[in-house]
Amino acid sequence: MTIQINPNQVPAGSVHVLPFLEASSIQFTNSQGEIIPVNSSLFSGKKDSFYTLESAGQLFLLVGLGEKPDYKSVETSFRKILSKHGEIISDHLVLNLGQTLNTGLLEAALVGFFLGNYHLDHYKKERKKTFEDLNLSINSEDNSIESILKRAQKIAVAKIETFELVDLPPNKIIPEYLAGWAKNLEKNPGVTVQVFDTKKAQELGLEAFLAVGRGSAKAPQFIVVEYRNAQASKHLGLVGKGVTFDTGGLNIKTQGMHYMKSDMGGAATVLGATKLITDLQIPINLTTIVPAVENAVDKDAFLPSEIIGSHAGLSIEVVDTDAEGRLILADGLSYLIETYQPDQVIDFATLTGSAVGTFGYECAALFSNNEEFQKAIQEAGMAMGEKSWPLPLWESYGKEMDSEVADIRNYHGKPLAGAITAAKFLQAFTHEHPSWAHLDIAGVAYADTDFAKTKAGTAFGVGLLLKFIENQL
C-alpha cells in the first residue's frame, strides 16, 4: 500500500471511512462542507455496524464502534473494512480517524485495517481481491499518528504470519519449515537461532521430545531463538507446542483429525510474538523454544505403556500417545529453565479438549505458580481482547499423575480435570521455577471467526505477550 498521512487533498473517487461511537444522532460533513444527518434507524454507531451512503459524489462507509469500544472490538470492526466491504473500494481509501479514538484505539484500528487484507485462499486458482496497490490516506489529529502507523504495521505483519503458520496445510508447515521460519528472525538485530537435529537432541537428553517424533518421516526440530537487547533488565522465556500434525499416534484420533494442523498453535503464538518483539526492538531479553514434531504412526512410533526419559531426568510412563504435546513441552521447559534461567517463563499450547470443555471458545485456561505473575498475564490479555481465566494447581491434582512404574505418567486416564492434570504434569518439569505460567489455548488459537467459513488461526497470545512485556517496562 501507498500511505499518506493528512494529505491536502484526495482523489474525487475515494471511499471515505468514518468511525462513530454509538449516539442518538449521527452526522458528518461531506467534501462540500455540507452537514449530512443519518437516520438513526439506519445507523446509530452500534458496535460492529456498518452503513454505506453517497454524498456529493463521494462514497462514505460509516463504522459503528459502540458506546465503549475496546481494543479487540475496534480491531475486528476495522478488519471488516477490507475483508467484508472491499467490493466498494477501488484505488483510493481515506480513513478519517479524527478525534473519535485515543492512541491505543488508533493502533487497534490500523492493525485491524491491515489484517483485513488476509484471506485463507492460499491455494485457490482464483484468489480474493487484495489491496497491495491501494492508495491509503489517513486523517488524524493525533500528533503521534506516524509512529502509531509504523507500530501497527509491524503488529499486523506479525499477526498475519501467525495466522499463516496455523492456517497453512500440514504438508507445508512441517518441523523443518518452522525451523526455517525461525532462522529468518536472525535478520533482526540481537537475534540468534539454533536448531537441534535428532543427533544433537539425543546428546542433550531431549528424550521425551524425540519419542513423539519417532513415528514420522519428517525429522523433529528443536528450535531455540535468543533475542538480546542491551537495554534489557528482564529475561522472559517462552515455550510453544509445535506439533505440526497430530494423528494421536497409536492412540489414534477418531474424530476431528482434519483440524490437527492447528496443533502447533502454541508454536505459532510464541514465534509470532518473538517476531513482533524483535521487529519493535523492545528492551527485553527473550529466549523462545519451539519443540517441533509431527505425531504420526509407523513401525517406529512410540507405544502406549512405553517408559521414556526426559531432559529433566524424570522417567515417564506413556499412558496415551495422544497426550504428546505435554511430552515435548516438558523437554522444552526443562531445557529452557536449566540452560537460560529466565526470570519468567510462559508456555502456550493447544493442549487439551478439557480446556475447551471448561471455557468453550471464549478464553484460554491459565495456570501459574505465582499469583502476581498470573494476574499480570490475565490483565494484559483482557486489555487486548485475549482472555484467560485461572484454574488451580493444587497438589491433589498432581497425585493423579503418579505412576507405579515410572516417576510420572503422561495421562491419568480419567474423563475429568484434564486441563489441570496436564498442567500439573508440565509443572513437574519446571525445576520449581518461581514464575512459570501455562496457557492452554486449545479453544482459542484456531476458531470460528467472522472472517472465514471454516476455523482459522486467531494469533491469540501475540497481543497478550506484547502488552504483558510493555506493562513491565
Q: Across-strand partners of 457?
A: 446
Grid cell locating 245? 500434525
What is the length of the chain? 473
Instruction: Determine the number of helices (DSSP H) and then strands (DSSP E) in the chain.
Output: 13, 22
Closest CA to 329 of 305, 298, 299, 352: 352
Other CB atoms within 10 A of residue 29 CB? 12
- Helical residues (DSSP H) of 53-102, grouped into ranges: 71-85
Beta-carbon contacts of residue 320 (< 8 Å; ≥ 6 apart): 251, 304, 410, 411, 413
Q: Cell 458528518, residue? A: 28
Q: Where is 96: in which H helix or E strand?
A: strand 92-98
SS (H, E, C) 302-322: CCCCCEECCCCCCCEECCCCC
Separation between Cα atoms, residue 228 and residue 286, nearest integer Å: 7
Beta-carbon contacts of residue 47 (< 8 Å; ≥ 6 apart): 22, 64, 65, 66, 67, 69, 73, 77
Residue 426 Cα distances to 9, 54, 243, 334, 433, angstroms: 58, 58, 16, 9, 12
Separation between Cα atoms, residue 200 and residue 217, nearest integer Å: 18
Q: Cell 506413556, residue? A: 318
Closest CA to 212 of 327, 299, 366: 327
- List, by residue number, the catalytic residues: 253, 326
DSSP state of 87: G
- Helical residues (DSSP H) of 280-398, grouped into ranges: 325-340, 353-359, 371-383, 395-398
Grid cell locating 24? 442518538
